[in-house]
Amino acid sequence: MTQTEPRQADPLIAILGAAGQMTSVTALALIARRPEFRYVLMDIDLGALGRTFKGKTGPNVKLQRVDLADSDGLRRAIHGARLLINGAGPFHKTAGTVRSHCLDLGIDYFDIDDDVESTQAGIALDREAASRGVALYVGHGASPGFTNLLAVDLLKQLDEPETVEVAWVVGDEGKSHLGRAVAQHTMHVGAGHCLTWRDGREVVHESFADSTVFPVGGSLGDYRLYECAHPEPVTIPWSYPSLRSVTCWGGLHPQSVNGLLRGVATAVASGDLSMDQGCAFLQAVMADQFGSFAGWGRALSGMRAQVRAGHTTKGELRAFLWDAIRNVHRPTRSGMAARVSGRRNGRSVTLVRQAAALAPGTFLDTMASITGLSAAAFALMLLDGPKRIGFQPPERWADGPAFYELCRNLGSQPLDAVVGPIIET
């Protein structure tokens, strides 16, 4: 729902989880673009806030320690805000509490939620939020977020759209710190239930069990991806209920990392490893540490299964393990894309649109940068737009060309370094 009258400017923006890799990018982009606003940047780790924003903020920015378990403290910190940006995951654990406070206080809510359960919970709040005059902007990062708009670009080209597929690939970004929330989300993606949309209704598949070769583009070209639990197959059919199917394909590069993830996540889902053990192993491997023998046992099982399925070769697996032993990292190869099929002018058509390939020093440098800057672009659009109410996924309100232009400006890049043309296949 949208009310057409412009809303009155309210200068306070509250940002939760602001010290995180992605949300700190969002915060810095907003402060640079709209310095006249007041900001309260909140995190449970005040020291991390200080280190992250040292020398990068002005007099309108307040750093504050906030613990989500302290409801009174959180409500005092966000009272009077025009918008709350929630970057504190995992969202299936945090979003419900924060959204409840926003509804009570009449504050518009915004997040980069990439969990299915909390996205469904957001949809369930649509009527309540509308009745309270509050908007719930859910899933406004890279995937979901950017991917949703790639799909909408294609939907608008067809008279009768039928199927939507979105895709994401995360590449090797070198030795890095993987936060616990991201590690836990990755476990949910790699195994367990996968809610998807088939034949005009919700169905449940096993995550990472089905695969396809998808035209991701860039240096990846056509790359094997896996059906995964992500919010796009939840929100896009909610916004476009006549669609026959909606699928999210995702994966990692190099290809053997998908087998590693699948093996560890399956062990966690079956109880062979605890969630703590699985997350600790992923975090260690990402930081160029050994991890654990138990973790490697499950990881090797998943990678061998990949070879047996023909998704990679023994030579590729050996090369990956040799690189892992030596802590050698290859150039980052990542991307996002959408593919939509349907009818136009009486004939069947399939269209593809791809985000530009990730490259060092650009808007698409890392997944943290593209997610954080995408969130900033969405936030700027809604702050400068009309008042909306109810559940608002990206495809329901955001204009693709305006979003890409903001991404271009935020990243100081030419437009073709952000998104590619629409391709008919």
In this predicted structure, the answer to whether residue 235 has a pLDDT above a threshold of 70 is yes
Q: Mean pLDDT across the chain, nearest whole number?
A: 93
Residue-level pLDDT at 44: 96
In this predicted structure, the answer to whether residue 2 has a pLDDT above a threshold of 50 is no
Min mean pLDDT across 83-92, 325-334, 354-363, 371-380 is at 354-363
- For the chain, list the domains and their CATH numbers: 2-141+364-424 (3.40.50.720), 146-355 (3.30.360.10)
Mean pLDDT confidence for 393-420: 89
For 223, the token pair is 């790359």
Residue-level pLDDT at 158: 98
Mean pLDDT confidence for 337-366: 86
Residue-level pLDDT at 360: 61
Q: What is the DSSP string of 75-102?
A: HHHHTT-SEEEE--S-HHHHHHHHHHHH
Task: Determine the Cα–Cα distance for residues 134 and 113; give it in Å rounded to an integer.
Answer: 18
C-alpha atoms less than 13 angstroms from C-alpha of 190 in its C-beta half-sphere: 29
CB atoms within 10 A of CB 398: 22
* pLDDT confidence bin for 363, thresholds 50/70/90: low
Q: What is the DSSP string of 289-345?
A: ----HHHHHHHHHHHHHHHHHTSS-HHHHHHHHHHHHHT--PPP--EEEEEEEEEET
